[in-house]
Amino acid sequence: MAYNKEVAMKDFFNVMAGVLFTLAFAPYIWAIMHKRVRNWKSTSVWSWIDRITFVRPDDKPAKPIKASWIIWASLDTITFAGMYAEGSLNLQITSAVVMAWVTVLLALKHGLPGWRRVDTFGACS
């Protein structure tokens, strides 16, 4: 079998997209688990690094909204199923599905308590 540079590039970028997508969820999941999220007031890189490194008293708790994450995870799952049926799965959608459902589980445990009418309406839509 001949070496195909185009296929190798696609595979490389597929893996990189999946890894970067998964890593993008890490700060949010960390904030949920530690019950805090950073208060991002400045856009400079140095203040961003400073805020990751130190805990500030103005940090607010990370409370994911259950309905939003259930909707997003469901839509990601539908997209995943369609891509699987067409044989065009990639690591980015696989990561999206896994990380969205991880966030749903965390939202059920650590998210805002209760279920509002707007949440029910959104989930049923």
pLDDT tens, per residue, the chain with 125 residues: 556 888 888 889 999 999 998 998 888 888 888 776 555 454 555 455 555 544 454 556 677 888 888 989 999 999 999 999 999 889 999 999 999 999 999 988 888 776 777 777 766 76
Nearest-CA neighbor of 96 among 80, 113, 114, 112?
80
96: its two tokens: 């999206």
Looking at the structure of the chain, the number of domains it has is: 1
Q: State the residue range of the domain holding 82.
A: 5-124
Is the separation of the CB atoms in 108 and 33 below 8 Å? no
